[in-house]
């Protein structure tokens, strides 16, 4: 799987050409997200809600289809404030943490570099192709890089993250360009008044790190 990914990226890079695109910003969205690790195991599958204006993201993994290595997560990220909440609705507990890295698979970082335009499937047969812009850059706060595949309408569909130790593949599925349930982006009452937890030396809190 890893070799296939690398080959795939390499093929994309070899078709790249210089361009002076600027990263677009995505719309409000609701949909499903799947997270695969480079070993080919599903780390999480669940629903997300994203407010592109307020830069807020909720992700709740769906435990009804757990795989061997999947992890249960309920995350609420406030990127503008640099805050992450790890929520446990069952026992109404909540941890509040400071974000060290704000990259996530629903928005292209402002400093991303345009790489190329590719077409998944066919570019000549109607409705059988998906034309995507490829963006990439380095991760902040940790060694690594990312590559994002984004539709012409600025909807990120796939994101690869490569770090020194592992890599991850995020896919966004069944996306709708609206916030279906705004309450999901509100901090639950049982999180109110929580103190920011200390970040141990060497720890990076980010959306990506939650899946490691």
Binding residues vs ligand NAG (CB under 6 A): 28, 47, 51, 53-54, 60, 62, 64, 68, 88, 91, 93, 179, 182
Q: How far is the CB of 188 from ligand NAG (least distance, A)?
A: 14
What's 135-189 look like in SS3? EEEECCCCCEEEEEEEECCCCEEEEEEEECCCEEEEEEEEEECCCCCHHHHCCCH
C-beta closer to ligand NAG: residue 19 or 41:
41
Q: What are phi and psi of 37, to 5 degrees?
A: -95, 170
Q: Which is nearer to ligand NAG, 115 or 205 (CB)?
A: 205
Q: Closer CB to ligand NAG, residue 64 or residue 124? A: 64
The residue (of 52 and 141) whose beta carbon lies closer to ligand NAG is: 52
Q: What minimum distance in Å lies between the beta carbon of 84 and ligand NAG?
A: 16
Task: State the minimum distance, in angstroms, from the CB of residue 39 to ligand NAG.
Answer: 10
Burial of 58 from C-beta contacts in 10 A (0-12 / 13-18 / 19+): buried
């Amino acid at each position: 799987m890893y070799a296939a990914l690398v080959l795939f990226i390499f093929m994309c890079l070899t078709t790249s050409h210089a361009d002076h695109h600027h990263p677009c910003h995505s719309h409000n969205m609701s949909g499903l997200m799947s997270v695969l690790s480079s070993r080919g195991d599903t780390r999480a599958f669940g629903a997300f809600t994203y407010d592109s204006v307020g830069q807020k993201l909720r992700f709740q993994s769906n435990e009804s289809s757990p795989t061997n290595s999947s992890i249960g997560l309920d995350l609420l990220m406030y990127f503008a404030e640099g805050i992450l909440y790890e929520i446990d609705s069952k026992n109404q507990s909540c941890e509040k943490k400071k974000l060290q890295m704000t990259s996530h698979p629903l928005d292209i970082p402002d400093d991303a570099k345009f790489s190329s335009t590719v077409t998944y499937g066919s570019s000549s047969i109607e409705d059988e192709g998906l034309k995507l812009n490829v963006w990439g850059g380095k991760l902040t706060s940790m060694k690594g890089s990312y590559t994002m595949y984004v539709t012409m309408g600025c909807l990120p569909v796939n994101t690869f993250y490569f770090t020194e130790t592992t890599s991850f593949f995020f896919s966004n599925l069944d996306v709708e360009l609206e916030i279906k349930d705004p309450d999901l982006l509100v901090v639950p009452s049982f999180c109110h008044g929580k103190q920011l937890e200390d970040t141990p030396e060497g720890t990076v809190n980010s959306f990506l790190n939650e899946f490691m």
